Structure 1
Amino acid sequence: MKIAIITGGSNGIGKSTALELGKRGVSVILTYHSHKESADDVVRQIEQNNGVRAIGLKLDLSQKSTFDDFTQQIRESLHEVFQRNSFDYLVNNGGIGGGMMFPEMTEDYFDLILNTNFKGPVFLTQQLIQLMEDGGRIVNTSSNSASLTPPGYSVYGSLKAALSTWTRYLAKELAPRQIRVNAVSPGPVHSNFGDGVFDKHPEYIKPLADQTALGRIANPDDIGKVIVNLLSDDFSWVTAQDIEVSGGFML
Structure 2
Amino acid sequence: MSKIALITGGNRGLGRATALALIDAGIEVVYTHRGDPGEKIDAIPLELSVGKLETYDAFAAELRRVLRDRFGREDFDFLVNNAGVGIHASIAETTVEAFDELLDVHWRGMFFLTQKLLPLIADGGRIINLSTGLARFTGDNYAAYAAMKGAVEVFTRYLAKELGPRRITANVVAPGATATDFAGGMLRDNEQVRAGLASVIALGRVGEPAEIAGVIAAMLGEGTGWINGQRIEASGGMRL
TM bin (shorter chain): over 0.9
- Which residue of structure 2 aligns with residue 163 of structure 1? 152
Question: How big is each residue's C-alpha offset from its partner over 1:5-58, in whole Å with a ceiling of 9 and x where there is no partner?
Answer: 00011111111111111111110001112432x1x52x2xxx3xxxxxx20011
- Which residue of structure 2 aligns with residue 216 of structure 1? 205
The amino acid of 2:153's aligned partner reads S
Query: Unpaired segments of 5 or more residues in structure 2?
Result: none
Question: How big is each residue's C-alpha offset from its partner over 1:207-247, in whole Å with a ceiling of 9 and x where there is no partner?
Answer: 00111100101000111011111111211111000111100
- Which residue of structure 2 aligns with residue 124 of structure 1? 113
Q: Aligned-pair distance for 1:197?
A: 2.5
- Which residue of structure 2 aligns with residue 194 of structure 1? 183
The amino acid of 1:12's aligned partner reads G
For residue 103 of structure 1, the aligned residue among 92, 97, 101 is: 92
- Which residue of structure 1 aligns with residue 23 of structure 2? 22
* 1:175 and 2:164 aligned: yes
Whole-Å separation in 1 of the counterparts to 2:91 and 2:25? 44
**Counterpart mapping for 1:38-49 below 5 A:** 38=38, 40-41=39-40, 43=41, 47=42
Q: Are the structure 2 counterparts of residues 216 and 199 from structure 1 closer, same or farther at C-alpha, using a change threshold of 3 Å? A: closer
The amino acid of 1:191's aligned partner reads T
* 1:80 and 2:81 aligned: no
Quick check: 2:177–2:187 contact (8 Å CA) kept in 1? no
Q: Aligned-pair distance for 1:201?
A: 3.0
Calculate the TM-score normalised by the size of structure 2. Answer: 0.96
Whole-Å separation in 1 of the counterparts to 2:11 and 2:219? 20
SS in 2 for 1:103: coil
Question: How big is each residue's C-alpha offset from its partner over 1:179-206, in whole Å with a ceiling of 9 and x where there is no partner?
Answer: 0000011111101122322345332111
Whole-Å separation in 1 of the counterparts to 2:110 and 2:198? 30
- Which residue of structure 1 aligns with residue 137 of structure 2? 148
Whole-Å separation in 2 of the counterparts to 1:230 and 1:170? 16
* 1:4 and 2:9 aligned: no
The amino acid of 2:14's aligned partner reads I
The percent of aligned pairs where both chains have the same amino acid is 40
- Which residue of structure 2 aligns with residue 240 of structure 1? 229
Quick check: 2:6–2:31 contact (8 Å CA) kept in 1? yes
- Which residue of structure 2 aligns with residue 63 of structure 1? 52
Q: Aligned-pair distance for 1:82?
A: 1.5
- Which residue of structure 2 aligns with residue 115 of structure 1? 104
Whole-Å separation in 1 of the counterparts to 2:143 and 2:155? 18
The amino acid of 2:32's aligned partner reads T
Q: Following superposition, which runs of at least 4 residues in structure 1 exceed 6 angstroms of deviation?
A: none
Query: Unpaired segments of 5 or more residues in structure 1?
Result: 48-53
Whole-Å separation in 1 of the counterparts to 2:185 and 2:34? 15
Q: Aligned-pair distance for 1:138?
A: 0.4
> RMSD of the alignment, in Å?
1.1
Quick check: 2:87–2:98 contact (8 Å CA) kept in 1? no
Q: For this pair of structures, how many residues does the alignment match? A: 239
The amino acid of 1:35's aligned partner reads D
